[in-house]
Amino acid sequence: MTPTTADRPQMLVEEFEELAHAAPETVTLEFINGRLEVKPVPDGHHREIVMWLLRQCMQHRPELSLYPESGLKTEAYRKGRARADGVLAPTGSFAGDGEWSDPDGVLMAVAVTSHDSDTNQRDRIDKRDGYAAAGIPIYLLIDRDDSTVSVYRRPEDGRYRTVTTLVFGDPVKLPAPVGFTLETEQLKDFAD
């Protein structure tokens, strides 16, 4: 059996988009590396972390918006479809877009890990690489499993060239084009 890859996908992107559009609200679908993925519905701590980040972004960069649960066209040639837990972009960037937006203008994509068997492959590898291939300058991974925050930056040739990982409680500097520091002490309240 031939493995599913971005070059040999399970289905066409257009077929995935039709399927995702018809999926019930209790299911979130993504199309990563040519595979159909089911993303778990966020739990309470997950939602609180996204709101914590939203407040920090509004405080430091009010001209930008953190769009929760945003569908992005990712990977090389925009053949992937990933739903970021948050997307930081200039306000108004997605006006008129459908469910899946082009990543042009996105400054940062965010993932908050979930407690499921696919989080390692999905959040720590596949999405990271898909966002890098799409040229998104920063990927912020808030990892609840080991209480860390990782900042991936400098996308080049489908990979982020630099990563900085700090534990919850340490200040986390988000470099340009985001350009502010996250105070992460409150994340300790949501570690589980």
CA distances from 95 to 17, 58, 98, 122, 178 (A): 19, 19, 9, 28, 21
- Overall domain count for the chain: 1
In a domain, 13, yes or no: no
71, 12, 60, 55: which is closest to 36 by C-alpha? 12
Residues 56-76 have a mean pLDDT of 93
Range of the domain at 103: 44-190
Contact 103, 34 (CB under 8 A): no
pLDDT value at position 40?
A: 65
Q: pLDDT grade, residue 39 (50/70/90)?
A: low
Measured CA to CA, the distance from residue 51 to residue 188 in angstroms comes to 15
In a domain, 20, yes or no: no
Total residue length of the chain: 192
pLDDT value at position 33?
A: 73
- Which residues on adjacent β-strands are paired with residue 80? 74
CATH code of the domain covering residue 142: 3.90.1570.10
Measured CA to CA, the distance from residue 88 to residue 103 in angstroms comes to 10
